[in-house]
């Protein structure tokens, strides 16, 4: 079972705050459907909980509030993977549904229906028909936006409906093309809709912006908007990098000629492109710092592609040292 735990390639904490994507559950699903799969599944989760408890941050003790968040929602959701008929997407959406009820999202979207419609009309007028293929109707836009914001609410560890309003306002304050890109990326599964991008440490980036007390001139909504702008930028950089890598692969011969000697093998039609944003999250400790870095991103932020193996790709974000000293 220890071997299975490593084969799962699953990080429990990422699922608990919906940092991951539905495709992140695919390997775990295969293990869960084996003989005694549920036992293996719970063992994997138990090992990861021990890892969280044993980390220096918690000094061997897991706070009750975090245990409740992980156990009552995440573990109960994950257990359903052992049911053969239940898909990873259904398990993922079930956790989003708990957030929808907790945040009172339906009522909030109903109350702000006019503002949502105005936002969609702005988006429709700003984009060509081809570019707005993701949201052909207002209902498509509303459903996708709600799912995206609920993912973000989990990343921010929001627990009350009143805390959802600043996030809602911050998102609707983004320019239409940026909001559309953010919503599209946060809705990708990586299972049947191409490659999904997983921005590792994105919750920490958002929390740094939300909780920053060094910018009293900005309210919570404005600070969150800085964080969302950073996510849009990172998603755009990652998508361009992934597309560039895919295009380069098209020109290196037949798939049978590819090998993994250089970290590359035949890419799958769907998959996960994991982008490690740890370096940025450690530098952007304040809203002001994050804002300056993202505004000067072409000189500050460098994204390096690491590998592409089957249905998994990896990249890393680095903040250039020379710019660090200047900032």
3 state SS of 305: strand
In the chain, which residues have pLDDT < 50? Answer: 1-6, 54, 58, 252-260, 262, 322-327
Query: Residue 173's Cα: distance from chain center in Å?
Result: 20
Q: What is the pLDDT of residue 58?
A: 47
Q: What is the pLDDT of residue 260?
A: 46
| Assigned token pair, 238 | 């990652």
Q: What is the pLDDT of residue 325?
A: 43
pLDDT per position as a tens digit, 207-244: 988 877 677 788 889 999 999 999 999 999 999 999 99
Helix H or strand E encompassing 280? helix 278-283
Distance CA 158, CA 210 (A): 11
| Assigned token pair, 326 | 């200047």
307: number of CA atoms within 13 Å, CB side? 11
Q: What is the pLDDT of residue 132?
A: 54
**pTM, rounded to two decimals:** 0.83
Helix H or strand E encompassing 250? helix 220-250
> Please, are residues 154 and 18 in contact by the beta-carbon 8 Å criterion?
yes
Q: What is the pLDDT of residue 296?
A: 84
Q: What is the pLDDT of residue 21?
A: 95
Distance (Å) of CA 148 to CA 100, 121, 245, 288:
11, 19, 27, 25
∠ Cα 104 105 108 (to 5°): 90
Q: What is the pLDDT of residue 2?
A: 42
> Please, are residues 154 and 99 in contact by the beta-carbon 8 Å criterion?
yes
């Amino acid at each position: 079972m220890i071997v299975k735990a490593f084969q799962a390639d699953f990080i429990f904490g990422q699922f608990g705050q919906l940092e991951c994507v539905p495709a992140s559950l695919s390997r775990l699903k295969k293990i869960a459907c084996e003989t005694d799969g549920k036992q293996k599944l719970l063992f994997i989760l138990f090992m990861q909980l021990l890892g969280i408890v044993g980390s220096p941050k918690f000094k061997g003790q897991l706070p009750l509030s975090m245990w409740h968040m992980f156990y009552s929602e995440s573990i109960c959701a994950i257990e359903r993977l052992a049911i053969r008929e239940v898909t990873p997407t259904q398990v993922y959406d079930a956790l989003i549904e708990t957030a929808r009820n907790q945040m009172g999202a339906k009522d909030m979207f109903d109350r702000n229906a006019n503002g949502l419609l105005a936002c969609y009309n702005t988006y429709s007028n700003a984009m060509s028909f081809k570019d707005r293929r993701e949201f052909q109707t207002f209902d498509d836009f509303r459903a996708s936006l709600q799912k995206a914001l609920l993912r973000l609410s989990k990343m921010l560890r929001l627990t009350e409906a009143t805390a959802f309003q600043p996030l809602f306002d911050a998102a609707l304050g983004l320019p239409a093309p940026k909001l559309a890109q953010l919503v599209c990326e946060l809705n990708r599964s990586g299972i049947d809709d191409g490659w999904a991008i997983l921005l590792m440490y994105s919750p920490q980036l958002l929390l740094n912006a939300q909780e920053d007390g060094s910018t009293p001139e900005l309210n919570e909504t404005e600070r969150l908007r800085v964080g969302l702008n950073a996510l849009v930028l990172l998603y755009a950089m990652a998508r361009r990098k992934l597309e560039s890598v895919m295009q380069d692969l098209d020109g290196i011969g037949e798939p049978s000629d590819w090998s993994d000697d250089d970290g590359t093998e035949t890419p799958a039609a769907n998959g996960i492109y994991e982008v490690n944003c740890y370096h940025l999250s450690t530098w952007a400790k304040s809203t002001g710092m994050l804002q300056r870095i993202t505004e000067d991103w072409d000189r500050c932020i460098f994204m390096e592609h690491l590998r592409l193996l089957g249905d998994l790709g990896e990249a890393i974000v680095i903040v250039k040292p020379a710019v660090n000293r200047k900032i």
